[in-house]
Amino acid sequence: MNGADMKIRHETRGSRVKWEKIIAENTPGASRSHDARKLEYSREPAFFLHMTDEWDLEEFPAVWTIGNAEILKCELLALFCSRKSPGAVLRKSHDFATELRRIGTPIIGGFQTPVEKMCLEIFLKGEQPIVVCPARGIQNMRVEREWAVPIEDGRLLLVSPFPARQRRPTKSTADMRNKFVAAASDRLFILHAAANSRTLTFADELLAQGREVLTFDIKENENLKRLGATAWHAK
């Protein structure tokens, strides 16, 4: 299916699990504990079956989670955006995130840059599952107040491959986090990649791996389209 024609909505594929079923089976308030849980590939491989080959399970054989880990079994759309983005991207991203919230698309991302954070705020007002991947260890991380209820309702998951000693995000951990997000997702959407940015370099790497990368069909994203990203048009 050509990315320009595909609808950005949740559709179960293969052994992916319907997110509505995951949320329905979660008892409201059941995830009140914000303690991190360790998921190991050797013990619970079902949570890793959809990771692409680009993620090295020998180097990172476990992840830590806070919240409903079953969300990792959903079909996930990954969102990325450079730290610096023009106004046109901000407006398009706001409308796009609002539509994703309306149709209930399960989302995964780092939600670290300003536009990504704006999108997360929009998603938190909806009902779809969200996976937030901090670029640091989450074992001793204070959970944001606005995340508490979505975690308890079973629709927000925090996940990280980093050990507890990694208490702060760095450029290196952000890059590794983005690789994890891409590997855990089914579809990739880069809202914007600034010239000479790490996001643009990452997009080039993803395309070289054969992954389809979607982006807005606007002049501000011509650099992505020149690399081979697929222009997405709203239906």
Query: 47 lies in a domain?
Result: yes
Share of the chain above pLDDT 70, in %: 86
Report how far residue 135's alpha carbon sits from residue 138's, in angstroms, rounded to the nearest whole number. Answer: 9
The answer to whether residue 197 scores a pLDDT higher than 80 is yes
pLDDT, tens digit (0-9, with 9 covering 90-100), for 54-78: 899 999 999 999 999 999 999 999 9
Burial class for 28, CB neighbours closer than 10 Å (0-12, 13-18, 19+): exposed
Domain count, the chain: 1
pLDDT, tens digit (0-9, with 9 covering 90-100), for 17-65: 666 656 656 655 444 558 899 999 999 998 888 898 889 999 999 999 9
Query: 205 lies in a domain?
Result: yes
Question: What CATH number did the domain enclosing 217 receive?
Answer: 3.40.50.450
Token pair recorded at residue 72: 């990792």
pLDDT of residue 35: 85
Query: 10 lies in a domain?
Result: no
pLDDT, tens digit (0-9, with 9 covering 90-100), for 211-224: 999 999 999 999 99
CA neighbours closer than 13 Å in the CB half-sphere of residue 69: 19
The whole domain housing 175 covers 19-232
The amino acid sitting at 112 is Q
The answer to whether residue 119 scores a pLDDT higher than 60 is yes
The DSSP symbol for 12 reads -
- 3-state SS class at 220: helix
